[in-house]
Amino acid sequence: MKILLAGLSEGVHSFSGYRKQGGYDAVEKMLKDMTPDSVIEEVKNAGIRGRGGAGFPTGMKWGFLDKKTNKPRYLICNADEGEPGTFKDRYLMEQIPHRLIEGMIVSSYALGVNTAYIYIRGEFKWIIDALEQAINEAKSAGFLGLNILNSGYNLSLYVHPGAGAYICGEETALIESLEGKRGNPRLKPPFPAVSGLWGCPTVVNNVETIAATPWIVLNGGSAYAALGVGKSTGTKLISACGHVAKPGVYEIEMGLPVEEFIYSQEYCGGIRNGNTLKAVIAGGSSVPILPAELILKTAEGKPRLMTYESLSEGGFQTGTMLGSGGFIVMDHTACIVRHTWTLARFYHHESCGQCSPCREGTGWMEKVLYRLEHGLGTSKDIDLLVDIAKNIEGNTICPLGDAAAWPVASAIRHFRQEFEDHVKNKNIHHLHHHENTLKDSHGH
Amino acid sequence: MPKFSDHLIKKIQEKITCYPEGKQKSALLPVLHMVQEENFLSPEVMDEVATLLSISNIEVYEVASFYSMFHLKPVGKYVLQVCQTGPCCLIGSDTILSILKKKLGIEIGQTTADGLFSLQAVECLAACGKGPVLQVGNRYVEQLTEEKIESLLSELRTAG
């Protein structure tokens, strides 16, 4: 079942191609037959949860929007995709830009918004151009601007580029950035739903979440909720990378067994070169890494499914999270210490510097991991890392601190022996890194 | 003071209209991108941006220094930014960086003597499925190999 990537073809990139496949039918139906509240009701019934990584129910988030003030309300699409391993929003916007534009119209109408922004990472210059072109096409066809389809509803939609800062994917940092400031996250409360962009009630939603709303309007929330398992309803884009035979973006119905996702020809096609699966980071670089046996089956031996609940079964001891759907796969040639070091370096680079535990702790973890990876570590360093991670977690105003701590803590939890081997055998890094050559990665 | 082209000033003024009246500071990031297409962000250039947006100079400096896409120092005509984060590292970004260092004769963070190329290692570009990847100007070059690097460098050298 495809919702987000339905109708994927050459022509669907253009307004006319998208329209031919039923594109913008949801806007027509909604403006003719539905009140904003009834759209919100359908989204609540759909049970869709925020696809950026947090998994918060979208309908509930929309319900928090303060409608009592006289201030304007804003919708911002978070297209600042940058969680390592995640490249799904980019793919959707490249392939079917109008699906996001239509979703922005649907969501804005539901929320009583007349001005909306798509905050997109500045590096995606060609996507910014494609979205601006799509906005112009939709405007010419009467789906954006003043008095849309003679309904009396007005909506202006703008694309706003970021400039290379992962932290701006955090919604309050994103709002600061859209106000022309450094991307320093705000203390909550107040939440953006009460005081967001320019102090006005604001909803920030991920690209994938917004792009699902036209389908929900056309087919009904209950049809969406009928897909998936339990509280993981609908479909999810998963971006698979690393050592799989077929990296790429796949739309799956929630509930697909992880094993099928990795090994089926329909999806990842197994591990490259027939290699052995070693570990997976299932939901973007922030979520705990799991060894092969725990990603395929839970500690109790149940098959692991692609749902919020199944992936988190066992808590952080033996489970992980669905997160953003950035699925990083490692075969037996991968060095967990090196990989963890690159992630620590990433979070150190991306820490905004506001909270001391994160500012100091991310740099400290990077240094210690550098030592371990380069044969300069001691066995005390491993416990030191665990201690630093523990002292960052929960002690910062935004989730970047947790996001930096979890990969380090989980890598040591599940692969401690490999860290110890790096201490005992100083030259170990030479042994496995030469295995990971370009020839390998392009061997399939 | 540096003089911005009339074309650039017109683009900046249009961009300001995307935000409500009095919220022109919001245009800062898009404006810095536009300005950077013509100049690196020297203090004089940033002061001019501040004047155009009716904000104080420090408001521009603090933002320009926060975001990694902005160049506060002169860089080569082509800035080759190679992703070095986990997923790209798993599939050979280390090798790509070594090849580029050797072919350009510079280290990471340096610019070639002819001013044509700067080499930088950057964090995740959201191209993990098609890594190793580098960004140059407004485009990504994905699934890098030694051959692809060779043809990219000769293409850019020819363009000059």
pLDDT tens for the 444 residues of chain A, in order: 899 999 998 899 999 999 999 999 999 999 999 999 999 999 999 999 999 999 999 999 999 998 889 999 999 999 999 999 999 999 999 999 999 999 999 999 999 999 999 999 999 999 999 999 999 999 999 999 999 999 999 999 999 999 999 999 999 999 999 999 999 999 999 999 999 999 999 999 999 999 999 999 999 999 999 999 999 999 999 999 999 999 999 999 999 999 999 999 999 999 999 999 999 999 999 999 999 999 999 999 999 999 999 999 999 999 999 999 999 999 999 999 999 999 999 999 999 999 999 999 999 999 999 999 999 999 999 999 999 999 999 999 999 999 999 999 999 999 999 999 999 987 666 555 544 444 444 433
In chain A, the N- to C-terminal Cα span, in Å, equals 28
Q: CATH number, domain at A252?
A: 3.10.20.600
Residues B27 and B82 reside in one and the same domain: no
Last residue of a domain, one of A205, A226, A247: A226
Tell me, yes or no, whether A65 and A80 share the same domain. Answer: yes
* A101 lies in some domain: yes
Question: Are A356 and A279 in the same domain?
Answer: no
Residues B53, B95: one domain? no
Does residue A22 sit in the same domain as residue A117? yes
In a domain, A313, yes or no: yes
Q: Is A163 close to B68, i.e. CB distance below 8 A?
A: yes
Closest B-chain CA to A84: B124
pLDDT band for B141, please (50, 70, 90 cuts): very high
Altogether, the residues listed in chain A come to a count of 444
- Cβ atoms of B140 and A122 within 8 Å: the answer is no
Disruptive mutation site among B90, B97, B130, B135 for chain A (greatest number of A CBs within 10 Å): B90
The answer to whether the CB of B41 falls within 8 A of the CB of B67 is: no
The residues that bridge with A158 in the sheet, in sequence order, are: A117
- For the domain that residue A413 is a member of, what is the CATH number? 1.20.1440.230
- Flag if B66 and A165 touch (Cβ within 8 Å): yes
Nearest CB to A122; choose among B69, B127, B128: B69
Strands (DSSP E) found in A121-210: 156-161, 202-206
Taking CA–CA distances from B81, the nearest residue in chain A reads A123
- The answer on A343 and A309 residing in a single domain is no
The question of ipTM being above 0.95 is answered as yes
CATH code assigned at B30 = 1.10.10
Pick the residue of A438, A440, A442, A444 with the most B CBs within 10 A to test the interface with B by mutation.
Answer: A438
B132 at the A interface (CB within 8 A)?
yes
Q: What is the pLDDT of residue B121?
A: 97
CA dihedral angle for residue A266, residue A98, residue A35, residue A50, rounded to 10 degrees: 50
Within 8 A of B36 by CB-CB distance, chain A residues are none
CB contact under 8 A, A84 and B124: yes
Domain-embedded: residue A1: no
Shared domain for A318 and A285, answered yes or no, is yes
What's the CA gap between A64 and A72, in Å, rounded? 15
Q: Are residues A243 and A191 in the same domain?
A: no
Q: How many CB atoms lie within 10 A of CB A45?
A: 17
Mean pLDDT across the stretch B134-142?
96
Round to whole Å and give the CA distance between A248 and B85. Answer: 18
Residues of B in contact with A183 (CB under 8 A): 66-67
Question: What angle, 0 to 180 degrees and rounded to 10, lies between the N-to-C axes of helices A379-392 and A356-373?
Answer: 160
Residue-level pLDDT at A425: 85
Under an 8 A CB cutoff, do B123 and A83 touch?
no
Whether residue A125 sits in one domain with residue A181? yes
**A211 and A327, same structural domain?**
no
Among A3, A16, A11, residue whose Cα is nearest residue A103: A3
pLDDT tens column, B64-76:
999 999 999 999 9
- The C-alpha atoms of residue A101 and residue A103 are separated, in whole angstroms, by 5
Cβ-defined contact of B85 to A346 (cutoff 8 Å): yes
Helix (H) or strand (E) holding B78: strand B78-83
- Which whole-number Å values give the CA distances from B50 to A136, B27, B73, in the listed order? 30, 11, 18
Q: Which of B24, B29, B58 to mutate to test the interface with A (most CBs of A within 10 A)?
A: B29
Both tokens assigned to A200: 């006005």
Same domain, A301 and A346: no
With CB atoms and an 8 Å threshold, state whether B129 touches A249: yes
What total number of domains does chain A contain?
Answer: 3
Helices (H), B54-111: 57-64, 86-90, 93-104
Same domain, A154 and A85: yes
Contact A358/A400 with Cβ under 8 angstroms? yes
* A340 located within any domain: yes
Do the domain assignments include residue B26?
A: yes
* Residues spanned by the domain of B105: 78-159
User: How many domains does one find in chain B?
Assistant: 2
Chain A and chain B share a number of CB contacts under 8 A equal to: 163
- For residue A281, what are the contacts with CB-CB under 8 A and spacing of at least 6? A85, A287, A288, A289, A290, A320, A326, A327, A328, A407
Residue B69, domain member (yes or no): no
The answer to whether position A120 is within a domain reads yes
Rounded to the nearest 10 degrees, the angle between the axes of helix B57-64 and helix B43-53 is 120
Q: What is the pLDDT of residues B95-113, one digit of tens each?
A: 999 999 999 999 999 999 9
Q: B96 and B52: one domain? A: no
- Whether chain A has a CB inside 8 Å of the CB on B32: the answer is yes
B104 and B138 co-located in one domain: yes
Which of A290, A313, A331 is the C-terminal boundary of a domain? A331
Query: The domain that contains A33 carries what CATH number?
Result: 3.40.50.11540
User: Distance (Å) from the C-alpha of residue B151 to the closest C-alpha of chain A?
Assistant: 17
B85–A285 CB contact, under 8 Å: yes
Q: Are A213 and A38 in contact (CB under 8 A)?
A: no
Q: Is the Cβ–Cβ distance between B126 and A90 less than 8 Å? A: yes
- What CATH number does the domain containing B86 carry? 3.40.30.10
Determine, yes or no, domain membership for A2: no
Q: With beta carbons less than 8 A apart as the criterion, state whether A59 and A46 touch.
A: yes
A240, B130 Cβ separation under 8 angstroms: no
Q: Give per-residue burial for B82-104: e unless 16+ CB within 10 Å, then b.
A: bbbbbbbbbbbbbbbbebbeeeb
Minimal Cβ distance to A85: which of B32, B128, B144: B128
**Are B54 and B17 members of one domain?**
yes
Backbone angles phi, psi at A331, to 5 degrees: -95, -175
Query: Does B63 contact A243 at a Cβ distance shorter than 8 Å?
Result: no
Of A331, A353, A376, the residue that ends a domain is: A331
Q: A355: number of CA atoms within 13 Å, CB side?
A: 23
Mutate to test the interface with B, among A81, A159, A174, A181 (most CBs of B within 10 A): A181
Q: Is the peptide bond before B132 cis (omega within 30 degrees of 0)?
A: yes
Of A164, A241, A345, the CB nearest to B128: A241
Residues B91 and B25 in one domain: no
Looking at the fold, whether A276 and A420 belong to one and the same domain comes out as: no
Kindly state whether residue B1 falls inside one of the protein's structural domains: no
For residue A341, what is the nearest residue in chain B, using CA coordinates? B86
Nearest to A164 among B27, B67, B130 (CB): B67
One domain, residues A204 and A259: no
Let me know if residue A4 belongs to a domain. no
DSSP assignment string, A85-143? T--HHHHHHHH-HHHHHHHHHHHHHHHT-SEEEEEE-TT-HHHHHHHHHHHHHHHHTTS
Domain that holds residue A119: 10-226
